[in-house]
Amino acid sequence: MTRMKHITAALMTTAAIGASAMGAQAANIAVIAGSIEDGFFNLIKKGVDDATLVVEANGGSVNYLRVPNYDNFGPDLVTLINQAVAQGVDGIAIPVWVPEAQVPALQAAAGQGITIMMYNSGADVKDDVSGVNYFGSDEYVAGEAGGAYMAQNGAKKILCHIQVPGAVNLETRCKGVEAGAKANGAEVTILRVPANLDGDITGTAEAIKSELVGDDSIDAVITLAAWASDAATNAVSQIGATERVKVGTFDMNPAVLQRIQAGTQTMAIDQQPYLQGFLATSMLAAYIDFGTDLATDPVLTGPAIVDASNVDTVLAGVEKGAR
């Protein structure tokens, strides 16, 4: 993180000089993100906050907009897109989770001259919305890596838990898990729970426990959010199956990493949300201000498997609020 501070300071200095010399536009942008109840987006926000220093150094501004929850996901996202457009922003950085709702709204925004930058989800619709670039993980590739890892480490039947059924990034993750597991001799069953259980550790633990009790051939669980692996490990512990059932997850929190250290959770798949927020915000503003772009498209921030072999290093980043 010390290195990141140096990079941020250098970017601010360079950006300020560039703005002064070139008379560049001051970008006013909106960054649209997931639920205010979803801790993953606190890591995105730290990246956005650090990048905002660069934007503000050039006289611009960043408005960070989040949906209240995932109960009315598609319409709520469209509301935020329309809100950003009404505010007269120059650019929008956004994931696409619900294409049928978001794509038309983003196409309309692009039609009004608003620059679209993609992050976290929706790389496959980037061209449809005239997106400049994508910063994030390839959900399918990340799922493949997770399924392969579990199978290569002894799992024969993996339960893949989806907390918001129909969300394209989550569905794609489990498709990847299926492919990675199958290629390594394992099978996958998918558990879709009602979206109102999102963030509900007790309710999710009960749903997972029911699956494990109903099918004792399940010997691994992969969840698609860090909080959900809290629920999964609770479920596994409650039925006394900690030695039999491996638990893995997409994304991380301190509890996940502590369990990996302790040996009660097998792994986590990191997509580095801090980088997603930082790069999407800073590069959107730079594109508007200076016309700068990256030759790499998409820019993949993951996947990276975190397990007992590297967990101590990752914990150091967690203490800084960036992992």
Q: What is the CATH number of the domain that holds 250?
A: 3.40.50.2300
Is residue 201 within 8 Å of 226, Cβ to Cβ?
no
* Non-local CB neighbours of 3 within 8 Å, separated by 6+ positions: none
Residues 49, 152, single domain; the answer is no
User: 321 in a domain, yes or no?
Assistant: no
Same domain, 60 and 125: yes
Please indicate, yes or no, whether residues 73 and 133 belong to a single structural domain of this protein: yes
171's tokens: 């569905």
Cis before residue 303, ω within 30 degrees of 0?
A: yes
The verdict on 165 and 181 lying in the same domain is yes
> Do 120 and 163 belong together in one domain?
no
End-to-end CA distance of the chain: 10
Q: What is the pLDDT, as a whole number, of residue 6?
A: 47
Structure tokens at 9: 């300071």
Mean pLDDT (the chain) is 92
Hey, what are 284's tokens? 């959107």
Same domain, yes or no, for 233 and 283? no
Helix (H/G/I), strand (E/B), else coil: 291: coil
CB 283 within 8 A of CB 119: no
Query: Within a domain: residue 313?
Result: no
Q: Please give the biggest Cα pair distance in the chain.
A: 68
Same domain for 130 and 169, yes or no, is no
Angle at 239 between CA 226 and CA 175, to 5 degrees: 45
Q: What is the reported pLDDT for 24? A: 54
Residue 314 located in a structural domain: no
Is 307 part of any domain? no
Taking each helix axis as running N to C, give the angle between helix 99-111 and helix 73-86, from 0 to 180 degrees, rounded to the nearest 10: 10
User: Which token pair is 195?
Assistant: 């979206």
Give the pLDDT means over successive 10-residue stretches in the chain (323 positions).
Answer: 45 43 74 92 95 97 96 96 98 96 98 98 95 96 97 98 93 97 98 94 97 97 96 98 97 93 97 96 97 96 95 87 81
Residue 317's pLDDT is 83
Q: What is the pLDDT of residues 211-230, one digit of tens each?
A: 999 999 999 999 999 999 99
Which domain range does residue 190 map to? Answer: 139-270
Q: Is residue 115 assigned to a domain?
A: yes
Same domain, 88 and 20: yes
Query: Distance between CA 145 and CA 142 in Å, rounded?
Result: 5
Give the whole-angstrom CA distance, residue 228 versus residue 222: 9
| 158 and 239 both lie in a single domain | yes
235 in a domain, yes or no?
yes
Two tokens, residue 208: 């997972």
Would you state the pLDDT for residue 89? 98
Half-sphere exposure of 291 (CA within 13 A, CB side): 3
The Cα–Cα gap between 104 and 160 comes to 31
Q: Tell me: do 114 and 177 sit in the same domain.
A: no
In a shared domain, residues 74 and 132: yes
**CB 91 within 8 Å of CB 27:** yes
Single pTM value for the model: 0.77
- Would you state the structure tokens that stand for residue 252, as one six-digit string? 């991380």
Residue 234 maps to a domain: yes
Number of domains in the chain: 2
Residue 304 lies inside a defined structural domain of this protein: no
- Between CA 19 and CA 28, with CA 22 as vertex, the angle to 5 degrees is 45
Q: Are 77 and 29 members of one domain?
A: yes
